[in-house]
Structure 1
């Protein structure tokens, strides 16, 4: 049985016309470059209510409503801010988020705890190491205790570190030049997005609009679409 707090789910969000607008933008961009229509679909297929319920049951969470309705009304992957959204696919019977069709390494949401903001990250790492019976001898905020993780967890240390750093969030987009976008699913900032470089110890920075307000999935996506529409005009 899926145990989620439905009070955290917003009212239904409509994406009316968005799929068609994105397709029109992509077609206009192709024409501007002197190219014919693409042979490939712009979006991944939408997901059925049963498939979305299967995703939520697998991970034991309710997806933010703006994203779950996007999956149902627009697509499970496709064009998006910077480059593209990751694609939510069922692979060998399990769901995961895939970038550039690399189905060997899908992102699997870890809902075991809330997403940890950058300013709290070092303390979280100390707590993890202590829980494993290891006491760090120095505070290593520059490298986020990665060497300590390797001592404690051996060959799995890098993987444990990276999975814990993305806990409670979905790798929602790859933005080029080692930049990534993340959608928070668990914790007090559920539904917000974060931007992150893939260096060893980068901060997660909130995506904000022109007024400094933090973006949700819908405002982030529509801002990008409106910018592309203006550019094509």
Structure 2
């Protein structure tokens, strides 16, 4: 992983992209700053102490050099904020989302085994996997109204929602486990697998490469529109 990746000039490039998009759509000045303020070293240390983890280096330097929230794949990043004394990730001023650092993020191919262990610990022997190749229906049988909470607590453990991309599509940054620093794509509207974000060569993205790929795509859209192509989306 490129844990020492720098962000020189990225903040300015993103602001230019946002301004170009506003001009293309005829929008007025933005109602708020493009980026949230950067975090100090002391604030980042406070976040890490609260959760007992070290943030992936690419994301850590982004917080310190670019901002604690702002534009990003595909709409906006969740914002890391201290709310009532607790650090969490906020989307559209909702309640802070907290990281569960108690265990590693469970990859899709290992998820059914994790469910199996949880169900057996609750005294239930699962029957067969359902159409999504896991035991979601058994979770509903065992945990009833609490199923959704139990399922999500286990499924999202070790990762944070880093961006909500609309229409149920979400991006997750892994904080704990062997794939720490990688990104996963998931449609939370249904029950599909978490899929690694990869570049054009099939290499898995870290936060730095993932963010810069999005920024480069937006800049190419703007150049194309200036050459007579469709405007930036």
Deviation of the 1:81 alpha carbon: 1.0
Q: Secondary structure at the match of 1:173?
A: strand
2:74 is the alignment partner of 1:82: yes
- Return 5+ residue gaps in structure 2 as ranges: 224-233
Number of residue pairs aligned between Structure 1 and Structure 2: 223
SS at match of 2:68: coil
Report the counterpart of residue 140 of structure 2 in structure 1.
150
2:229 is matched with none
Distance between the aligned counterparts of 1:56 and 1:213, measured in 2?
A: 28
TM-score (norm 2): 0.90
Distance 1:143 1:99, change over 3 A: farther
Superposed, 1:1-233 pairs within 5 Å as: 12-103=4-95, 106-140=96-130, 142=132, 144-233=134-223
Once the two structures are superposed, residues 75-131 of structure 1 have per-residue CA deviations (whole angstroms, 9 ceiling, x without a partner) of: 11110011111111111111111111112xx22111111111111111110011112
Q: 1:144 deviation in Å? A: 3.5
Please give the secondary structure, in 2, of the residue aligned with 1:115: coil
Q: Unaligned stretches of 5+ in structure 1?
A: 1-8
Q: Distance in 1 between matches of 2:162 and 2:108?
A: 18
TM-score (norm 1): 0.90
Q: Offset of 1:152 from its aligned partner?
A: 3.3
- Return closer, same or farther for 1:71/1:26 CA change in 2, 3 Å cut-off: same
What CA distance in whole angstroms lies between the structure 2 residues aligned with 1:146 and 1:131? 16
Contact between 2:185 and 2:197, CA under 8 Å: does it hold in 1? yes
Query: Could you report, residue by residue, the CA deviation over 1:148-187 in whole angstroms, capped at 9, with x for unpaired residues?
Result: 3234334322111012111111110111110000011111
Q: How many angstroms apart in 1 are the aligned matches of 2:43 and 2:144?
A: 37
What CA RMSD, in Å, does the superposition of the two structures yield over aligned residues? 1.7
- Distance in 2, Cα, partners of 1:201 & 1:36: 39
